[in-house]
Amino acid sequence: MTRSRFLVGKPGRVAAVVLQAAVALWFVASAVGKLIDIDSFEVYFFSFGFVSLSASFLIARLVIVAELVLGVLLLSGIAPRKATVLLLLLIIVFCCFLCYAEWIGRSDDCHCMGALASLPPLLSLLKNAVLIVLLLLLLRVRLYAWHSPWYVLLLVIVVLTVSVFAISLPDNWMFGKDNETYNSELLAVMAEEGEPLQDADIFEGRKVVVMASEGCGNCRMALKKLKAIVERHDLDEDDFVVILASQKSNVVDDGVPMLQGRKYVINNSDFLQLTYGARPIILLMDDGDTVASYHARNIDENEIAQFLKQ
C-alpha cells in the first residue's frame, strides 16, 4: 500500500485503525438496524414505485447484505481498501436516492438507520456527507489489513448473506396463498341488518375488506403496504372497507402513510368473533363472494390491482 501523508507515525497509525474500526462499525450497525426494522424499510422503498412489492423484499435485503459484508470486511482487515471504495460508491448511490426523495418532497423517515434512529432525507444526506469525508480519508491512510486466502473472503460473504436471509426471509419466499378464516355469517349480519356496517356496501360490487387493529404491528404494516399499492396503481381508496377494532393504540406514528379507506370501528368482542382472533385479514370480495384472502405477509400487489381494475 502507498504510504500516506496523513496519520503517520505510531500515534497516526493507531488513529487510522480507530477510524477504520469506527467507520466499519457504523455500517454494520446501520445494516443491523435495517434488519431489525426490515418491514418498514421494505415499504419505504416500495412506496417510491421503482419496483414491485416482491422485488422490494429482495432489494431491501441485498442493501443490508452489502452494508454488512463491506462493514465486516473493513473491520476485519480483509480487503479493506476494496471495501472502502465499494462503501464510498454505495454511499453515493444512497445520496442520489435521498436527493430524489428530498426533490419530490418526502420528509418522512428514510429508514437509513432502521430501528436505531429516525432520520429525514436531508439529515441523512448530511450524515452521508460526513461518511464520504471519512471514507476518502481512509483511502489516504495505511489501513489495517489481514492478508487472508481468497476462500476466507468468499466464506465471509456467503455466511453473512445466508445469515441475513435466514433471519428475515422475504415474505414472498416464505408465504404462499392461503384461505384466511373469518366469520362470514357475522359479517353478513353487520353489513345487512344494521350497525355498524350497513352503509359499507360490502356485498355490492368489488371491494377489498380489511379487518385490522391499529394497535397490532402486523396490521399497521399491512395498511402501509396497501396504501403504497393504492398510490402505485392509482386505485380508489373508497373501494377499501377498513374494519377496525375499537382498542386504543399508543404506537408513535413513524410518518409512513397508512391506508384510510372507508373506516368502520367495531367493539373488540365483535371483532374477535368476526376474525376468530386473527389479524389482519384482507379479503377480495366480488358481490359478497370471497375471491382471495391474505394476511400481512402474503399480500399480492398485482392480484389486488387487477381485481379492482377489472
Predicted confidence (pLDDT) per residue in 38-97, tens digit? 988 998 888 888 888 889 999 999 999 999 999 999 999 999 999 999 999 999 999 999
CA-CA-CA-CA torsion sign (29, 35, 41, 45) = positive
- Please report, in tens digits, the pLDDT of each residue of the chain (310 residues total): 444 455 556 676 788 888 999 999 999 999 999 999 898 899 888 888 888 888 999 999 999 999 999 999 999 999 999 999 999 999 999 999 999 999 988 888 888 898 888 888 999 999 999 999 999 999 988 888 888 888 899 999 999 999 999 998 888 777 766 667 888 888 888 877 666 777 778 888 899 999 988 778 888 889 999 999 998 899 999 899 998 887 665 555 556 678 888 888 888 888 888 888 888 899 999 988 888 888 888 888 999 999 998 7
Give the pLDDT score at 1.
43
- CA-based nearest residue to 31, from 168, 175, 134, 172: 168
Grid cell digits, residue 194:
344494521
Whether residue 280 has a cis bond before it, omega within 30° of 0: yes
What is the C-alpha to C-alpha distance for residues 89 and 131, in angstroms, rounded to an integer? 11
Contact 236, 308 (CB under 8 A): yes
Give the pLDDT score at 261.
85
Give the pLDDT score at 40.
87
Give the pLDDT score at 78.
92
What is the C-alpha to C-alpha distance for residues 52 and 73, in angstroms, rounded to an integer? 31
Q: How many other CB atoms are found less than 10 A from the CB of residue 219?
A: 25
In the chain, ranges of CATH 3.40.30.10 domains: 184-309
Grid cell digits, residue 295:
394476511
DSSP character for 239? G
Q: Does the model's pTM come out above 0.75?
A: yes
Return the CATH fold of 184-309: Glutaredoxin (3.40.30)
Q: What Rg value do the Cα atoms of the chain yield, rounded?
A: 24
**Residues above pLDDT 70, as percent of the chain:** 90
